[in-house]
Amino acid sequence: MSFLEDEMLKVASRIGGEDAAKIVQALKKLGEATDDTVSTETGVKLNDVRKILYRLYDCTLVSSTRVRDPKTGWFLFYWKLQMDQLDPFIRSRKRRVLERLRDCLDYQRSHEFFECTQCSSPKITFEEAIESAFRCTRCGAQLTSVDKTKTVEFLSKYVKRLEEELNE
């Protein structure tokens, strides 16, 4: 199995679980097939095959061709993998993650945080700490400043790594 095929299986598994990986393997083997053929090949229920195929279609990882059956008049959908769309799909997901991480990093850099060392209450911002006179709203203990250096360093490294991967 090639690296690209292995990556497609990983992505499919994240999108639709083990059944999606079976469907991708079946489409790889069959080339182009109807949902019924894929269901028979994989042993996955037809409705589940259709749901997974539509999810993969939404991610542009499979394409379909619609053909009218001359006997029944019903439309048949022939599905096939679009291996060439895997890299753009992964890159777009990485861009979304990068955008969120940049927002998180900006938020961390622009805010000061406080926490209670006595109880397990969540961190709060400086503005929230002022409102409570730097006292924990749960137990009344004095709030202490949070050292965010490690968090900022971690986020910075991760952002830099993703930017390098995406060449941004």
Buried b (16+ CB within 10 A) or exposed e, 137-148: eeeeeebeeeee
Distance CA 30, CA 89 (A): 23
User: Which tens digits make up the pLDDT trace of 130-154?
Assistant: 999 999 988 889 999 999 999 999 9
Given CA atoms 58, 15, 158, 113 in this order, what sign does their dihedral have?
positive
User: Which tens digits make up the pLDDT trace of 100-119?
Assistant: 999 999 999 999 999 998 88
- Give residue 3's pLDDT band: very low, low, confident or very high (50, 70, 90): confident
Mean pLDDT computed over every residue of the chain: 93
Distance CA 52, CA 24 (A): 10
Both structure tokens of 147: 């050292």
- Domains, the chain, in order of start with CATH, read 3-81 (1.10.10.10), 91-166 (no CATH)
Q: Global pTM?
A: 0.76
Predicted confidence at residue 168, as pLDDT, reads 61
